[in-house]
């Protein structure tokens, strides 16, 4: 499978615990995006990487959230001290952009439930 | 700031009928507009992408149009089938120094009645 891969697919945690999600983009895609989607809403942008550099973070990304993309390959999104409001689907997308606007390809998402 | 709206939020159509889904956007200076399909609890599948220089794109039974002057895009589905039941989302990139983050509508939940 050469698409965008996200793990785990589902995560149930208790409030206050830390969680980490992983995204493996399409090989050689230089851009990687994280979005969050709550029930009945469209996905909302969280953060964006060009290679290993995190270039923009949304105001939605509080200081409890941190994302990394070491070596410009896979990415991780960590949520510390989870709250019930963090319950959502977390989507990762990647694109290959060489001067133009690239098409984003999405993974299946990680559904987080905070009890 | 780009805002994307999709109305209606839900639509039920008998099998075999043709249907149109609507998407409105506020900033006509868009790079492209993309239509996605999302099955319950799943990720997004890209259906069609229309560049700003294009008026429409076709893939099988799907046809997407773009009218920048009116700020509207439509997704036409011909001869609908139960397997078309899903949520359909439209999105447009907001390019800011190369960050092509997508702004999404809230989606139209489509149900095809057998």
Residue bearing tokens 């990720």: B43
CA nearest to A109, candidates A38, A39, A3, A7:
A7
Using CB atoms and an 8 Å cut-off, which of residues 19-58 of chain B contact chain A? 31-32, 34, 36, 41-46, 49
Whether residue A72 lies within 8 A of chain B, CB to CB, comes out as no
- Structural contact between residues A2 and A27, judged by C-beta atoms closer than 8 angstroms: yes
- Would the CB atoms of B46 and A103 count as touching at under 8 Å? yes
Q: Which residue of A has its CA nearest to B51?
A: A101
B1-57 residue pLDDT tens: 788 999 999 999 999 999 999 999 998 788 889 999 999 888 899 999 998 889 999
Count the Cβ atoms, other than its own, within 10 Å of residue B71.
17
pLDDT digits (tens, 9 = 90+) for A16-37: 999 999 999 999 899 999 999 9
Q: Is the peptide bond before A8 cis (omega within 30 degrees of 0)?
A: yes
Distance (Å, whole) CA A60 – CA A56: 12
Q: Facing residues of B104 across strands?
A: B91
Q: What is the pLDDT of residue B87?
A: 97
Structure tokens at A81: 């001290």
pLDDT of residue A55: 87
C-beta separation of A33 from A48 below 8 A: yes
B100 touches chain A (CB under 8 A): yes
Query: Which residues of chain B lie closer than 8 angstroms to A105, CB-CB?
Result: 46
Quickly count: other Cβ atoms within 10 Å of residue B107's Cβ: 25
Cβ–Cβ of A106/B106 closer than 8 Å? no
Number of cross-chain residue pairs from A and B with Cβ atoms under 8 Å apart = 65
The confidence score (pLDDT) of residue B109 equals 97
């Amino acid at each position: 499978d050469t698409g965008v891969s996200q793990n785990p697919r589902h995560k149930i945690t208790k409030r206050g615990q830390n969680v980490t999600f992983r995204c493996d983009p399409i090989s050689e895609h230089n851009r990687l995006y994280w979005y969050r989607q709550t029930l009945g809403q469209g996905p909302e942008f969280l953060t964006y990487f060009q290679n290993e550099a995190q270039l923009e973070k949304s105001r939605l990304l509080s200081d409890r959230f941190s994302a990394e993309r070491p070596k410009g390959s896979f990415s991780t999104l960590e949520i510390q001290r989870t709250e019930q409001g963090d319950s959502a689907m977390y989507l990762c997308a990647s694109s290959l952009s060489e001067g133009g606007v690239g098409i984003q390809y999405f993974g299946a998402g990680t559904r987080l439930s905070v009890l | 700031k780009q805002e994307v709206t999709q109305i209606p939020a839900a639509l039920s159509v008998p099998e075999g009928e043709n249907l149109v889904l609507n998407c409105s956007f506020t900033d006509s200076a868009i790079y492209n507009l993309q239509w996605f399909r999302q099955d319950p609890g799943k990720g997004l599948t890209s259906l069609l992408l229309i560049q700003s220089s294009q008026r429409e794109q076709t893939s099988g039974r799907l046809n997407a149009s773009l009218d920048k002057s009116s700020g509207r895009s439509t997704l036409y589905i011909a001869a609908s089938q139960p397997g078309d039941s899903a949520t359909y989302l439209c999105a447009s990139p907001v390019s800011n120094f190369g960050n092509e983050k997508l702004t999404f509508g809230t989606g139209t939940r489509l149900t095809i009645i057998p």
